[in-house]
A = this chain, B = another copy of it.
Amino acid sequence: MPSRMIVSRELADFLKMIAHPDRLRMIEELRLGEKDVSSIAAALSLPATRVSQHLAQLRAHRLVDERRAGRNHFYRLSHPHLAAWIVDALQFIDVRNRLAEGDHIDSARALWTAQSRNTSH
């Protein structure tokens, strides 16, 4: 059995699952703790249906855990460290070329990890 191929496929599936702008922002949104669907949708200015669909995918891949309270569904990261690991990826991206001059990786990192209320989202 080509175990190595299995690992690379699993890895690719995992990466595909998080490789979407909305889902990345959602993961970042859950960095500090659980949130319900409406809160996430409002924070990111996305239609709730879309957020729900993304969450269903993340749930299917066990990247988030669900907790129901009344009619609200609260989601949290299954691996709290995931958000930090994603931020580390910024070092591999030439963000400099695409943001305003003077910006660099550190500012991108700061921007990304800043609280929602402080950012120009």
Contact = CB atoms under 8 A, between A and B. Distances in A.
A4 B89 contact: no
A60 interface: no
Main secondary structure of the interface of A (DSSP, over half): helix
Copies of this chain, whole number: 2
A32 interface: no
A15 B12 CA distance: 9
Interface residues of A, number: 46
A101 interface: no
Given A21-B5, A24-B8, A91 B86 contact: no
Interface of A: 1-12, 14-16, 18-22, 24-25, 28, 62-63, 79, 81-82, 85-86, 88-95, 98-99, 108, 111-112, 119-121
